[in-house]
Amino acid sequence: MPGAGTDKTKRWLETPAPVVVLVETQLGDNIGAAARAMANFGLARLRLVKPLQGWPNERAVVMAAGADRILDNATLHDSLADAIADCSFVLACTARHHDQVKPVVGADQAAAEMRPRVAAGETVALVFGRERNGLEAHEVGMADRIVTLPVNPAFASLNLAQAVVILGYEWFKAADGTLPFSTTEKSPPAPRQQLETFFTELEGELEKVEFFRPAEKRGTMVVNLRNIFHRIAPTQQDIRTLFGVITALAHGRKGPARGGVLDGFEAQHLREIIAEHGAGERGATRGLAKLLRRNPTEAERILWQALVNDRRFAGRDFKRQVPVGAYIVDFVSFPLRCVIDLVPAAESEEAVQARAAKRAWLAEHDYRVVETRADDVERDVAPVLARLAETIG
């Protein structure tokens, strides 16, 4: 299975590439890390000149992180001269100035010079020196080019694997250059007609809240607003999503998005029907409580949001639309044995009688009932909360 960029289900890329020569590497870990970098960029041939910790090396296998075939095929050599004996073009990678009359190139130019030679079937070598002091002067003297990198002169030494990965990257980019994957556009760009419809809706809602002030700057504000969306080049799906955002902000959540299937008027009508018929069976009461919780009236929604966000009621354990005995109450705190009863602006005679019976039953069972008018909540919930806080202490 593919891991973090490693996919053993895909074919290992094997194309002609330069040979990597590591001279007297001190740590097996660095050989393994260099092999991993080679595998990343299609460098398959590794030659080792007298590795100090011997060969094979267990730490190299660990650090190679799956690039085992490069380590398995690595060859051992007693000297750099032996390692590059069959090479027609050699590049010495070093961060030090060796005062030699020899072309000095960067990683990208090195890749450009290697590419046609490798394509022609020549054996080309990239030579890397020891971790501590790099390549010796006589070893650099065996090369056709010196490769160095633009680095901080006060801290120019790179880790061996870092140097290999930079040269490997430039080689692979010059040889192939294609990215391994890309994303596909799932939605086409939004046409101007769709954008204009969106702008009309957006500007209309902003007019309602008097966003365009002062009036003399309206034209400039509209242009600036439209330019924001033109710059991001939205897709058709982007515009549909933004339409939904504007609708939600302008009109509030309704229906299923509000947690139920009824709007505020329908939810209130449902409560009136239930109130007129009084208490039902316990099983039916529990079912109705779930239905009412999913379909709050506007007053109930406002009061509930205010309760849960007001520190005065923190820890009071108020619940919404739960059965108490055979009745469904709007809000109840069982620890306080307190019920908040939302009274609608208008009720039928049957609903009034049913509400009175519910209050009487609650009083008989030691519940304190706090009546609150629904229209007071909708008008301004702050005074309602103040009275409630004073009542429950």
Residues 221-253 have pLDDT tens digits of 999 999 999 998 899 999 999 988 888 787 665
3-state SS string over 321-354?
A: EEEECCEEEEEEECCCCEEEEEECCCCCHHHHHH
Q: Which residues contact 150 (CB under 8 A, 6 or more apart)?
A: 106
Residue % of the chain over a pLDDT of 90: 47
Query: What is the pLDDT averaged over residues 363-391?
Result: 90
Q: What is the pLDDT of residue 209?
A: 77
What average pLDDT does the chain have? 85
Q: How many Cβ atoms are within 10 Å of 255's Cβ, its own excluded?
A: 12
Residue at token pair 């939205």: 234
Please state the length of the chain. Answer: 393
Query: What is the pLDDT averaged over residues 37-48?
Result: 94
Beta strands (DSSP E) in the chain are 19-23, 45-49, 75-77, 89-93, 104-105, 124-128, 145-147, 318-324, 327-333, 338-343, 368-373
Minimum mean pLDDT among 60-64, 223-227, 235-239, 296-300: which range? 296-300
Task: Pick 136 or 301 by higher pLDDT.
Answer: 136
Query: What is the pLDDT averaged over residues 247-271?
Result: 61
- 74-101: pLDDT as tens digits: 999 999 999 999 999 999 999 888 788 8
Residue 230's H or E segment, with its range, is helix 218-232
Q: pTM score > 0.75 for this model? A: no
Q: Which residues contact 49 (CB under 8 A, 6 or more apart)?
A: 21, 22, 23, 24, 77, 78, 79, 80, 82, 83
- 350-363: pLDDT as tens digits: 888 888 888 899 99
Q: Long-range contacts: 311-318, Cβ < 8 Å, 24+?
A: 312/385, 312/389, 313/385, 313/388, 313/389, 316/392
Q: What is the pLDDT of residue 34?
A: 96
Which of 156, 101, 114 has the alpha carbon at shortest distance from 20?
114
Q: What is the pLDDT of residue 283?
A: 47
